[in-house]
Structure formats: structure tokens, C-alpha cells
């Protein structure tokens, strides 16, 4: 083992994905499906699976495995499985149907996704994702998902996120909602059939590992505070991403890292934690009370022009600033792409002009997105037709009318590409633990393309996991685990101790005040731009704040009741630990790629500069001890079907 | 600005609840209503009082988790808006605002403003789906759906399951909620084979849960944050009636 970054981590053995078959990439998924051991229908009812989370991945997996005949228990912290945060996805879902006859294909979707991820994802996984994408649309249509249609009754498509084909299926601006309701209804159908039991208002607080296998979870019933252990033959985590480490993000308030982080502490490797996507078009923070940020669809950049005043400190009404004194900085800096540069480029540029004192709005952290020229050119009705609902939403939140005054936007944390490491079967490094959807790291590399999150969640849940998990379950049922088993006792005790500790500190600062402070450290130093110096500083600050947290946090109320403060307190405690690993990961990756922009590694024109000779790998981290240096296991990436190139948008 | 909140506090389903008055000083008109509750809760925590429990999650009006009765109106004074999308600029300096949970027999109070809406999930489980096992689907474009029908289905499918319709209804009926699902699926060709059995199963579950009958008052649609229209109830009634006449049940 050799140390890295001044002893911040050590380096362990490389790991490899042992499950993807060799051979032509088009045939790998078929080959794997033929290779997996099967479980006969009669034996499935003897096998049980726990699924954590009921978003697109979790709900679709629960419905599918229940239908197949397995005994499924599904857990969510919300009051109903229908509320998981997939519901808030707006734009659409990609699929390589080529309904537009525009030369789309499985190979092109694969190519776009690998390239969009800046060559930090696994070719085999991405190819499979593209292969199953079409069947997702078929499945959703059969469930009655009301996708947008043409007058002839066929499905409509639109283009999205800078790709050159129209492959995005959508349901107004509520695609995530409609897809999730489809999966939720399929899930509820299985509840009625008795194959799935749903435990809503239950939060997973730890993973039970017995003889090296994931065998169950410890959950807290959020209504009563009761700690329960559930055991099964396999555990599936579909618990979403960790964007709320930034406190302010577009995630729902309850989104958290606890399920995956606790599994990480029990031995599952955590891959590429520093790969977090910042979305450029969100409504800016209005003050210290801000609890979350709202995304405005990226499509606004098709017609809106982004600018700031040319002179720092110019606080005139934007309408009073003459053309000559405005800086349309994207059009100026990126003449060929202009306002349509990719998400990461647009985000960093906004940060830069605000850093120069040219930001707008009450906090100075905002830029204008101006529709005046578009309204003049196309007329207000056309703009209202294209963006009316977004303009209304903006006005509701800010009290300003974007038809009259330029919108103000600013980047916000949106999605996390990193997550638990999984092999081609979506199995983590703990046998019997599977991770699907945003919770795993598998398909998006260092940057996710628009409309691909929904595709991956449903691909994993409807098609990939149900096919691969049988290979593991075929060896079951595993020996029963009693409540008295030492592993169960130890895990339950650890959960109780942690809750008792949080309640007994009885300090002077609220959970949210810590979370906000943590969020701003991570945002400043491990957000849109990262430097070695800033990350070192952030690690020290996170450690210090974490120590203060355990000394002076105040969690009111009791354990044996609905206690929302206690729920948040546990989640924030895990965000501290994750934040440190994110910073270490960002520090060790001395290259820029996709969302990960190291100031030290950029091209002459300020673009992210990869270093394939040193960093063409997945960084999978092993937990050692709290605050102890993690161990880096590298999974080398090979590109046989897409040649890595340097991005350029000028 | 300064406002006064009178909030329903109730320890659990067994204890009696009461309105408790809180002066919430120094809040901003740019705060959302739930952020004002956050601010109040931070202050309560520091003074050692139990913070107010309320459901919320996405805070962008789509998950359906939030919802309280504000001055007697489910989701508050602004039409077509969830509680989380309501901002303090809708109120005036010095306003006294009553905040209560959804009140309906099938929605027992868990704590303060949090109620159990599991009955809505059970109505869906009874029949609010198309039986389409994974993998058995035909090619997506094999079945044509006229755009008008798809759009009408979508209007009903926009329901977020918040339960405001039940809270607003003098009868405590969930017919708008259930009718929205029956209409969504009933407008589409994929929903036809189970249309009769769906309607019968969902009405039976609706009634078993203790929701009241619809008497066409229309309070439900007035508070619906997604503007679900009363016609969904007529469609539901028609599907139930025709299924009964044809003896599908």
C-alpha cells in the first residue's frame, strides 16, 4: 500500500468488474442473461428481497420482482411510495427508438452517453442501458403513462441536452411524475396481490451483514420510533443520490445518503463520490431562510440570453442598462455554442462573473436570463406557448414577472453521478447487496446527460436487476437469521446508540444550522470548481464542524414518537462523513473531467482537461474507520468502441 | 414582516389537540409558507420546545407530501397552489393565520399537522392500475392514442395525491382523487380491458375506508392544486353505474 495526498488515503488492490462477459459489446447483455442461474417460479416464493426506496428504480424493481413471485418488502421514508423524488423530474426520458428517422440507434445513444460522461463510465454498462431503453418506453406505455403524442396518435419526441437527435419522450413538464406513478401503480397492484409489502414512513439506518452477505436492514418506524430488523435473502438499495450534502440543492428535503453510507461503512465501496452535477438554471437563493432550490428547465436557454452588467457593482434596474453596458458573457466567450454550452460550462461561467462582483439580485449570486429579444422577435404568445408554465412558476417563487423583467438564475446542485460501486450485475462489493438507480455509480461517468436519469432508474429496476439478481438468489434461500443472531444484535445496538447519542448531546445549535454550514463548505470548495488548496481547507473545516456537531447539536423531542428533528440529525451526521470522502476523492483526482473541474487542470481556453494517462479509472473507496484514511481501489476503464477526445465548445 | 400563526398541536392520535399561538417576528415576504414554519421551528428548538411536525418533501409542488389547512382553506388562499408553493407575500403584516391538519375520518392525525393518508394508497391498490407485467408490453407505437384523449387523460393524471380534496369536502369524500385515476386510465386504450372492474374495486375500497359520498358541492376542485375538474367524478360514477348494470361486478 502506498499513501496519497499526504496520507489522506492509501491505495489498495485494483478491482475489476468480473461479471460483464467479453466479446462483442452488442452481445454482452444477451450473454450475461444466458449465463445467469435461474430460479424456477415455484422456488421464487421461498426467496425474499428487501428494497430500500420507491423512486423509479425501487418501485419498478419491487413491482417486477413481486410479479415474478419473489417475496418483496419495500421501504420508504415518505408517507407513500408515490412521493419519492423521481416524481420531480421534468424534462423527459431518452430511448433509442429512432422514431424520428434521424439516424439514432442503440450505438448512438451509447456513444453520446459515454462521451457526455467524459469517458469515465464503463462501456458495457452504458451499452446495455441503451439496449434496454426502448423496452422501457414500451412498458410505460402499456401501463398507461400519458406520454405526449402527435395528432396521428403516435408518440412525440423532442431533442434535449445538446445531442443531435430527437430521442426524448416526455409527458409535458412532468415526465418523472407520470413514470413514477406508472411504477407506483404497478407496485400497488403487487401489494394487492400479496407479493409486496410496503413499509412507508420507515427509514433504513443500517445494513445487517451476516457471514459476509447482506442479509437485512435495521429500520426506524418514523411514526413510533420503533427500531425493527428485517432480514431477507438479498437487499437492494434504491435510495437515490446525495445532492443534499450541499444543503441547498434541487433534491427533495428528505433525500439523504444514509442508506448507502451505512452500507459503505459495512464494507461496500463508494465510487467517484466527487462526481456531482451542478445545474446552471435554478432560481437563485433569496435569503438565509432558503430551504431548497428550484430548477427551471434547461430548455429556457434555447431562447433566453444570459448576461450580467459589464461593470462590477452596477445595481441599476436591468431594463435601464443599455446594450453597450451589458456583457453577454457566454455568447462572447463561446461564439459557436453561445447560451447553449453544456451544463458544467454554463455553471462555471456564472460563478466566475459573480466572483468578479458582477452578479445580480439581492445576494449578488445570480445572472440574468433575458427573454426581451425573444419576445420582440417571436412575440409574447410564442414565448408563452413554449415556456408559460415555467414563467408562472418563476413568478410565483420570486414575485417578478419574467415577461417584463429578466429572470435571475444561478447554478445549484442537482444530481450525483457517484454512488456505491457495483459490478455489471449491479451487485456491490458485499455479496447480496444490489444498488440501483442514482444510488449506484454505474452509467453516467463524470457527467449525466439530460433525460438519462429516468432511463437509468427504470432500466435498472424493470430489466437489469430482475435479470441479474436471480443469479445470486439461485444459491438461496440462505440460512435463517434469528433476531438473536449476534450480527443483528450488534447492528441494532449500534443504531440505538447513535440515536441516544444524538438525543443526549442537548447542545446549543440546531441541526439545520450545521447542515447549512456544511453545505456552504462543500459548495465553496467541492462544487463547481475545486483546487488542492481549497479541498485541503475544506477537509479541515468539515472535520472541525463535525466535531462541533457531536458536541453541541440540539435535537429536541423524544425517540419514541414522530421526531423530524431526530430524522434530520441522523442524515446530517452521515453527510459530514460523506463530505470528507467527496473532498478526498476530488483532491486525489488531479485532472478535470465532466463535472469535476480542477482549476489546476484546464486547457488554454478554460475547459476541463482530462488526464487519461493517470486517471482513466473509477475511484472506488473502502471505509476503514471513522475519520481514518479510506483505501482507494481503482477499476481501470478501457474504451474499445468510443475513442476518448477532448471537449471543446468555443 | 411579522405574522402570528395559530397552529394545531396534537401529540398523537390518542391525545386531544389544541390551537397554539406563535408570534413569528421578522420573516421575509420572499419566504415560502413552509420556510416560515422552518424558521419558527428553529426558534422553538432553541427554546427547548417541541418543533411543529408537518409533512413536506419536494417543495416544488409535485410530490404531494405537503398540505395544511390555512385559514380554513386547504393549501391556503392561492388557487392552484400547493402549500409549499405559497409565499408569505400572499399575506400582510400582522396577519393572524390559522394552520390545521387535513381533517377527515380516514386521515387520522399522527402528530400536529401530519396525517396518515395510507387510505389513498389502498384505493390505488384496489384497482388504480393497468395490469401490465414487466416485459409483456407491445411495441410502444403499436397502439395509437388520439392526442385529444391522451391530453385529457393527462389532465386527470396530474393528480398529486395530496388529499386536499378530502380535507375540503364537507362529506370527506375522496371521489376527486379516485375519479382522477379512473379518468386517466379510462381515457386510454390500455385502460379499457379493466375499466369496469377497476371502477367497482375502487369505489368499494373508497367506501370501506370511510370516505363519504360525493354530493357535487365542488369544494374539492376549488382547492385542488392541479385543477382536477369535477367531470372526473361524473366519469367515475358512469363507469361504476355501467359496470353494475352490465353485472361486471
Domain end (from A412, A434, A463): A412
| E strands, A371-514, in order | 407-416, 419-420, 433-435, 509-510
Inside any domain, residue A322: yes
Q: Do A396 and B65 touch (CB under 8 A)?
A: no
B45 closest CB neighbour out of A137, A146, A510: A510
Of A134, A185, A564, the CB nearest to B53: A564
Q: Is residue A228 part of a domain?
A: no
Give the chain B residue nearest A144 (alpha carbons).
B190
User: Are the Cβ atoms of B57 and A83 closer than 8 angstroms?
Assistant: yes
The total of structural domains in chain A comes to: 2
Q: Is residue A543 part of a domain?
A: yes
* B67 vs B75: CA distance, rounded Å: 6
- Condensed to tens digits (0 to 9), the pLDDT of residues B41-88 reads 999 999 999 999 999 999 999 999 999 999 999 999 999 999 999 999
| Chain B residues closer than 8 Å to A253 by CB | 56-59
**Residue contact B190–A191, C-beta within 8 A:** no
Average confidence (pLDDT) over B127-153: 96
Residues A365 and A490 grouped into a single domain: no
A324 Cβ contact list (under 8 Å, min separation 6): A310
| A622 alpha-carbon distance from chain centroid | 20
Same domain, A508 and A383: no
Contact of B75 with chain A, judged by CB distance below 8 Å, is answered with: no
Distance from CA of A375 to the nearest CA of B (A): 27
pLDDT, mean over chain A = 95
Instruction: State yes or no: pLDDT of A159 exceeds 90.
Output: no
Q: Where are the domains of chain B?
A: 3-111, 118-246
Closest residue in B to A98 (Cα–Cα)? B141
Contacts of B29 in chain A (CB under 8 A): 399
Q: What are phi and psi of B78, to 5 degrees?
A: -95, 130
Kindly write down the DSSP assignment for every residue of A336-389, as one continuous string.
TTGGG--HHHHHHHHHHHHHTT---STTS--EEEE-HHHHHHH-HHHHHHHHHH
User: Which residues of chain A make contact with B153, given a CB cutoff of 8 A?
Assistant: 144, 146
Q: Which CATH number belongs to the domain containing residue A583 in this structure?
A: 1.20.58.100
Is a pLDDT exceeding 50 seen at residue A500? yes
Candidates B11, B121, B140; nearest CB to A138 = B140
Closest to A253 (Cβ–Cβ): which among B57, B111, B161? B57
Note whether A512 contacts B51, CB cutoff 8 Å.
no
The C-alpha atoms of residue B204 and residue B207 are separated, in whole angstroms, by 5
Of A353, A381, A412, the domain-final residue? A412
- In-domain check, residue A541: yes
Among A397, A412, A427, residue at a domain's last position: A412
pLDDT > 60? residue A1: no
Mean pLDDT, chain B, whole residue set: 97
Say if the Cβ atoms of B57 and A294 lie within 8 Å. Answer: no
DSSP state of A464: I
The pLDDT of A141-167, averaged and rounded, is 90
Architecture of domain B118-246: Orthogonal Bundle (1.10)
Distances (CA, A) of A328 to A55, A358, A365, A367, A406: 39, 12, 16, 10, 13
For the cut 80, the answer to whether the pLDDT of residue B14 exceeds it is yes
Structural domain contains residue A469: no
B42 at the A interface (CB within 8 A)?
yes
Confidence at A271, pLDDT banded by 50, 70, 90: very high
CB contact under 8 A, B81 and A396: yes
Query: B51 to chain A: which residues are within 8 Å by CB?
Result: 556-557, 564-565
Distance from CA of A10 to the nearest CA of B (A): 39
Shortest CA gap B249–chain A (Å): 18
Name the pTM for this structure: 0.97
pLDDT tens profile A373-408: 999 999 999 888 888 888 988 998 999 999 999 999
User: Any idea what the CATH number is for the domain that residue A360 is in?
Assistant: 3.90.700.10
Q: What pLDDT, in 10s, does the model give residues A68-105?
A: 999 999 999 999 999 999 999 988 999 999 999 999 99
User: Using omega within 30 degrees of 0 as the cis cutoff, is the peptide bond preceding A266 cis?
Assistant: no
Domain residue limits at A341: 279-412
For testing contact with chain B, the best of A186, A189, A395 (most B CBs within 10 A) = A189
Are residues A638 and A15 in contact, defined by beta-carbon separation less than 8 angstroms? Answer: no
Q: Is B192 on the interface with A (CB under 8 A)?
A: no
> Which of B13, B87, B140 is best to mutate for the A interface (most A CBs within 10 A)?
B140
What's the confidence (pLDDT) of residue A648?
Answer: 73
Largest CA distance in chain B: 64
- pLDDT of A161 higher than 70: no
Asked if B64 is an interface residue toward chain A (Cβ–Cβ < 8 A), one would say yes
CB-nearest to A188 from B48, B125, B158 is: B125
Instruction: Quote the pLDDT of residue B165.
Output: 98
CB distance B150–A148 less than 8 Å? yes
C-alpha cell, B86 = 405559497
Tell me whether the CATH fold assigned to B3-111 matches the one assigned to B118-246: no
Q: Is residue A640 part of a domain?
A: no
CATH for B3-111, options being 3.30.365.10, 3.40.225.10, 3.40.980.10, 3.10.20.30: 3.10.20.30
Whether residues A295 and A377 share a domain: the answer is: yes
Amino acid at each position: 500500500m502506498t499513501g496519497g495526498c499526504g496520507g489522506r488515503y492509501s491505495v489498495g488492490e485494483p478491482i475489476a468488474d468480473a461479471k460483464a462477459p467479453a466479446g462483442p459489446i452488442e452481445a454482452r447483455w444477451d450473454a450475461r442473461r444466458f449465463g445467469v442461474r435461474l430460479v424456477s417460479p415455484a422456488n421464487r416464493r421461498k426467496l425474499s428481497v428487501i428494497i430500500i426506496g420507491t423512486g423509479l428504480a425501487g418501485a419498478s424493481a419491487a413491482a417486477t420482482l413481486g410479479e415474478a413471485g419473489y417475496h418483496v418488502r419495500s421501504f420508504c421514508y415518505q408517507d407513500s411510495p408515490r412521493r419519492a423524488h423521481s416524481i420531480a423530474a421534468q424534462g423527459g426520458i431518452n430511448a433509442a427508438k429512432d422514431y424520428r428517422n434521424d439516424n439514432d440507434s442503440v450505438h448512438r445513444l451509447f456513444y453520446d452517453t459515454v462521451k457526455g460522461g467524459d469517458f469515465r463510465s464503463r462501456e458495457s454498462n452504458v451499452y446495455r442501458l441503451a439496449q434496454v431503453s426502448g423496452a422501457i418506453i414500451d412498458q410505460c406505455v402499456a401501463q398507461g403513462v400519458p406520454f405526449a403524442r402527435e395528432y396521428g396518435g403516435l408518440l412525440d419526441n423532442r431533442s434535449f441536452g445538446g445531442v443531435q437527435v430527437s430521442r426524448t419522450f416526455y409527458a409535458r413538464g412532468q415526465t418523472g411524475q407520470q413514470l413514477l406513478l406508472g411504477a407506483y401503480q404497478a407496485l400497488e397492484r403487487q401489494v394487492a396481490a400479496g407479493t409486496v409489502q410496503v413499509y412507508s414512513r420507515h427509514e433504513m439506518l443500517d445494513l445487517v451483514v451476516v457471514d459476509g452477505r447482506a442479509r437485512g436492514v435495521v429500520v426506524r418506524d418514523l411514526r413510533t420510533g420503533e427500531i425493527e430488523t428485517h432480514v431477507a435473502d438479498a437487499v437492494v438499495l434504491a435510495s437515490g443520490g446525495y445532492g443534499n450534502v450541499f444543503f441547498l440543492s434541487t433534491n427533495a428535503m428528505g433525500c439523504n445518503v444514509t442508506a448507502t453510507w451505512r452500507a459503505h461503512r459495512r464494507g461496500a465501496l463508494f465510487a467517484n463520490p466527487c462526481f456531482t452535477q451542478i445545474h446552471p438554471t435554478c432560481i437563485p437563493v433569496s435569503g438565509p431562510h432558503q430551504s431548497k432550490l428550484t430548477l427551471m428547465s434547461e430548455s429556457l436557454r434555447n431562447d433566453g440570453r444570459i448576461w450580467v452588467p459589464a461593470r462590477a457593482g452596477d445595481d441599476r434596474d436591468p431594463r435601464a442598462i443599455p446594450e453597450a453596458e451589458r456583457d453577454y458573457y457566454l455568447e462572447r466567450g463561446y461564439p459557436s455554442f453561445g447560451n447553449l454550452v453544456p451544463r458544467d460550462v454554463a455553471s462555471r461561467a456564472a460563478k466566475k462573473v459573480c466572483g468578479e462582483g458582477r452578479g445580480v439580485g439581492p445576494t449578488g449570486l445570480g445572472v440574468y436570463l433575458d427573454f426581451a429579444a425573444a419576445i420582440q422577435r417571436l412575440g409574447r404568445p410564442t414565448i408563452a406557448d413554449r415556456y408559460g408554465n415555467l414563467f408562472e412558476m418563476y413568478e410565483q417563487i420570486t414575485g417578478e414577472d419574467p415577461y417584463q423583467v429578466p429572470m435571475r438564475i444561478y447554478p445549484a446542485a442537482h444530481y450525483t453521478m457517484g454512488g456505491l460501486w457495483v459490478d455489471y450485475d449491479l451487485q456491490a462489493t458485499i455479496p447480496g447487496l444490489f444498488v440501483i438507480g442514482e444510488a449506484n455509480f454505474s452509467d453516467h461517468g463524470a457527467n449525466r446527460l439530460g433525460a438519462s436519469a429516468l432511463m437509468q432508474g427504470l432500466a435498472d429496476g424493470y430489466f437489469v436487476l430482475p435479470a441479474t439478481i436471480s443469479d445470486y438468489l439461485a444459491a438461496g434461500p440462505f440460512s435463517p437469521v434469528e433476531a438473536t443472531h449476534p450480527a443483528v444484535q450488534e447492528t441494532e445496538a449500534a443504531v440505538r446508540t447513535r440515536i441516544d447519542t444524538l438525543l443526549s448531546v442537548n447542545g446549543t445549535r440546531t441541526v439545520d444550522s450545521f447542515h447549512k454550514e456544511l453545505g456552504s463548505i462543500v459548495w465553496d470548495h467541492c462544487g463547481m470548481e475545486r483546487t488542492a488548496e481549497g479541498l485541503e481547507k475544506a477537509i479541515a473545516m468539515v472535520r472541525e464542524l463535525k466535531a462541533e456537531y457531536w458536541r453541541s447539536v440540539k435535537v429536541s423531542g423524544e425517540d419514541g414518537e414522530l421526531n423530524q428533528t431526530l430524522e434530520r440529525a441522523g442524515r446530517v451526521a452521515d453527510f459530514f462523513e460523506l463530505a470528507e470522502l467527496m473532498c478526498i476523492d476530488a483532491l486525489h483526482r488531479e485532472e478535470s473531467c465532466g463535472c469535476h473541474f480542477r482549476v489546476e487542470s484546464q486547457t488554454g481556453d478554460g475547459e476541463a482537461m482530462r488526464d487519461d494517462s493517470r486517471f482513466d479509472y473509477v475511484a472506488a473507496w473502502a471505509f476503514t474507520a471513522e475519520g481514518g484514511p479510506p483505501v482507494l481501489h481503482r477499476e481501470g476503464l478501457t474504451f474499445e468502441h468510443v475513442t476518448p477526445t477532448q471537449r471543446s465548445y468555443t | 414582516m411579522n405574522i402570528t400563526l395559530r397552529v394545531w398541536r396534537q401529540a398523537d392520535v390518542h391525545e386531544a389537540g389544541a390551537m397554539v399561538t406563535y408570534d413569528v417576528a421578522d420573516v421575509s415576504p420572499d419566504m415560502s409558507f413552509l420556510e416560515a414554519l422552518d424558521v419558527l421551528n428553529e426558534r422553538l428548538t432553541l427554546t427547548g420546545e417541541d418543533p411543529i411536525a408537518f409533512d413536506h418533501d419536494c417543495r416544488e409542488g409535485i410530490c404531494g407530501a405537503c398540505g395544511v389547512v390555512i385559514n380554513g382553506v386547504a393549501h391556503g388562499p392561492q388557487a392552484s397552489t400547493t402549500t409549499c408553493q405559497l409565499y408569505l407575500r400572499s399575506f400582510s403584516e400582522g396577519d393572524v393565520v390559522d394552520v390545521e391538519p387535513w381533517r377527515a375520518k380516514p386521515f387520522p392525525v399522527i402528530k400536529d399537522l401530519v396525517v396518515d393518508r395510507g387510505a389513498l394508497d389502498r384505493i390505488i391498490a384496489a384497482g388504480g392500475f393497468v395490469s401490465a407485467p414487466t416485459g409483456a408490453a407491445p411495441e410502444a407505437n403499436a397502439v395509437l392514442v388520439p392526442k385529444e384523449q391522451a391530453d385529457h387523460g393527462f389532465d386527470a393524471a396530474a393528480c398529486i395525491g395530496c388529499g386536499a380534496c378530502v380535507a375540503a369536502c364537507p362529506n370527506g369524500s375522496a371521489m376527486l382523487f379516485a375519479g382522477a385515476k379512473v379518468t386517466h386510465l379510462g381515457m386510454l386504450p390500455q385502460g379499457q380491458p379493466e375499466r369496469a372492474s377497476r371502477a367497482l374495486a375502487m369505489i368499494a375500497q373508497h367506501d370501506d375506508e370511510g370516505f363519504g359520498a360525493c354530493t357535487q358541492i365542488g369544494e374539492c376542485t376549488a382547492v385542488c392544486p392541479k385543477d382536477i375538474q369535477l367531470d372526473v367524478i361524473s366519469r367515475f360514477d358512469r363507469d361504476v353505474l355501467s359496470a353494475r348494470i352490465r353485472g361486471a361486478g
